[in-house]
Amino acid sequence: MKISHRSALVQAGAAVAIGGIALAAVVYWSSGKDKPDPCKPATQGSVDLTASALCKALGKADLPKVLNIPKAKTEFGGAMSQPVQGGDPSVHVAYVVGQYSVIVATHKPGTVKETEKVAGHSATLVIGTSSGKQLYNLAVSYDAAGTGFYTVDVLMADGTQMTQDNASQLEHAVAEKVLPTLPDWRS
């Protein structure tokens, strides 16, 4: 998948983000005290192992501090995979952190047309619309070889619009903290 197909990528990202927000909100408000490890893979399949790695990286990242809301509660919001024609399933993991939903996803194979660097890797801010709302999505390459890329979304958990500057700043902060800790990240 090439990132130049922005419309399809943004639409898929928007659908996942909106679904992720709803799922994250349900999990967040219905969570109990004694919780099993949300990052334990259900199987040893590649999708479950990828979701587990994303979950662990997000869980260890101190997201309230990264998002500059240090007293916020953090809850696992869910994981899902999405089939991709000609590639591995895209894996999405969500966390709810205070007023934000944070979603990190994998996309294999694929490349990012570089407009900036994030943690030394090619990156670009993808801008699109869904349901009349402007959405922003930071795409960051695993490496220069086209192995794949990650997308990072930070959205308001209640669905209200974020400014491009605010979304970009928060997505960059999450990407710089979380992505270098992932197994597929290549220096």
- pLDDT of res. 7: 44
Rounded CA gap, 182 and 109, in Å? 16
Is 100:160 a contact under the CB 8 Å cutoff? no
- pLDDT of res. 30: 46
Q: Torsion-angle region of residue 120: left (phi > 0), alpha (psi -120 to 50) or beta?
A: left
Global pTM reads 0.81
Whether pLDDT at 26 is above 50: no
Residue 33 vs residue 135, higher pLDDT? 135
- pLDDT of res. 132: 86
Question: What are the CB-based long-range contacts (under 8 Å, 24+) for 15-18?
Answer: 15/130, 16/80, 16/82, 16/90, 16/92, 16/103, 16/105, 17/101, 17/103, 17/130, 17/135, 17/137, 17/153, 17/155, 18/130, 18/131, 18/159
Closest residue by Cα to residue 117 from 136, 139, 102: 139
Closest residue by Cα to residue 159 from 138, 133, 137: 133
- pLDDT of res. 80: 94
Residue 127 vs residue 28, higher pLDDT? 127
- pLDDT of res. 13: 55
- pLDDT single digits (tens) 125-166: 999 998 888 999 999 998 878 789 999 999 999 999 999 999
Query: Among 18-32, 130-144, 153-167, 170-184, which stretch is predicted with the lowest mean pLDDT?
Result: 18-32
Other CB atoms closer than 10 Å to residue 68's CB: what's the count? 11
- pLDDT of res. 143: 83
Is 185:142 a contact under the CB 8 Å cutoff? yes
Rg (CA), the chain: 15
The C-alpha angle with vertex 180 and arms to 177 and 183, in degrees rounded to 5, equals: 135
Structure tokens at 179: 């992505």
Query: Among 19-33, 41-55, 105-119, 172-186, which stretch is predicted with the lowest mean pLDDT?
Result: 19-33
Is 77:24 a contact under the CB 8 Å cutoff? yes
- pLDDT single digits (tens) 54-112: 999 999 999 999 999 999 999 999 999 999 888 889 999 999 999 999 999 999 988 89
pLDDT category at 187 given cuts 50, 70, 90 is low
Residue linked to tokens 């958990």: 157
